[in-house]
Amino acid sequence: MKNIVILISGRGSNMQAIVDAQIAGARIAAVISNKADAEGLAWARERGIATASLNHKDFDGREAFDAALAGLIDAYAPDLVVLAGFMRILTPGFVGHYENRLLNIHPSLLPAFTGLHTHERAIAEGVKFAGCTVHFVTAELDHGPIVAQAVVPVRDDDDAAALAARILVEEHRLYPQAVADFVADRLTISGQRVLRRS
Ligand SMILES: Nc1nc2c(c(=O)[nH]1)N[C@@H](CN(C=O)c1ccc(C(=O)N[C@@H](CCC(=O)O)C(=O)O)cc1)CN2
Ligand SMILES: NCC(=O)N[C@@H]1O[C@H](COP(=O)([O-])[O-])[C@@H](O)[C@H]1O
């Protein structure tokens, strides 16, 4: 059984999709947020999943917050840490501690549209296809090795909300599958099996 800790900042709909997928070999050990009022925490608690929150505003700088966050996460002995709408940029120290066992889902077809407000920017640029990307997290924001992607056509009458809603459906399919592949040691990057630290 592989322990998974999921980090959220809000509703955590991707966390909910992963929990609901009931992935064989996976145990959702905890859901942790940087916001005590994150809607996803109550959802997880109602399903008997351990939850915790750590307010980044209570710490003097990113390094201090990330160190405390890692301490909280490690109490659950994670084999995999999943970012699901987690809205904090993580320090190199944190990312290195979870090398090759830290995933994120980003709402664009990386390397296009890194950062925030991806749907607004895609529509403003007039792209014909958008989508989402599951990737390993590295120190460089939204530039880690790509694990999986889903393509969503952009419609002429799309606004950001409509596009986001269609892409979110694909996220809720893509992310649980990527987590299941990690748990089953099926994940590859550019055809190479991912070698994880023990
Ligand atoms: N070192 C890394 N940290 C994070 C990565 C990553 O690839 N490397 N992915 C992000 C997730 N993300 C987009 O997918 C993302 C999250 C947050 C931000 C951001 O600008 N955050 C601001 C605060 C924004 C807010 O509180 O609303 C910040 O941290 O100052 C950009 C992209 C997760 N972390
Ligand atoms: N940079 C991270 C980011 O923008 N994540 C995005 O936040 C939305 C809400 O996620 P949630 O419903 O799982 O909280 C999702 O579209 C996810 O891709």
Q: Is 88 annotated as a binding residue?
A: yes
Catalytic residue of the set 106, 119, 135, 172:
106
Closest residue to atom 18 of ligand 2, CA basis: 107
Q: Give the integer Cα–Cα distance in Å for 38 and 41.
A: 6
* Distance from the alpha carbon of residue 115 to the mean position of ligand 1, in angstroms: 7
Q: What is the pLDDT of residues 13-33, one digit of tens each?
A: 999 999 999 999 999 999 999
Residue 188 is predicted with a pLDDT of: 72
* Distance from the alpha carbon of residue 191 to the mean position of ligand 1, in angstroms: 27
The response to whether residue 131 sits with its C-beta less than 6 Å from ligand 2 reads no
Question: Quick one: 109 exposed, middle or buried, by C-beta within 10 A (0-12, 13-18, 19+)?
Answer: buried
Rounded to the nearest 5°, which phi and psi values hold at 160? -60, -40
CA distances from 95 to 77, 91, 124, 188 (A): 16, 6, 32, 19
Q: What is the mean pLDDT of the chain?
A: 95
* Distance from the alpha carbon of residue 106 to the mean position of ligand 2, in angstroms: 7
**CA dihedral sign, ordered 198, 53, 84, 45:** positive
The response to whether residue 106 sits with its C-beta less than 6 Å from ligand 2 reads yes
Residue 187 is predicted with a pLDDT of: 86
The pLDDT averaged over each successive group of 10 residues in the chain (198 residues) is 98 98 98 98 98 97 98 98 97 97 98 97 98 97 96 98 98 98 86 53
The model's pTM is: 0.95
Q: Could you tell me the two tokens for 145?
A: 């090795």
The response to whether residue 102 sits with its C-beta less than 6 Å from ligand 1 reads no
ipTM of the complex model: 0.96
Rounded to the nearest 5°, which phi and psi values hold at 51? -135, 160
The response to whether residue 78 sits with its C-beta less than 6 Å from ligand 2 reads no
The response to whether residue 165 sits with its C-beta less than 6 Å from ligand 1 reads no
Closest residue to atom 12 of ligand 2, CA basis: 13
Enumerate domains of the chain plus CATH numbers.
Answer: 2-196 (3.40.50.170)
**Is 106 among the residues known to form the active site?**
yes
* Distance from the alpha carbon of residue 83 to the mean position of ligand 1, in angstroms: 10
Residue 96 is predicted with a pLDDT of: 97
Which atom of ligand 2 is closest in space to residue 84's alpha carbon? Answer: 13
Q: Give the integer Cα–Cα distance in Å for 8 and 167.
A: 18
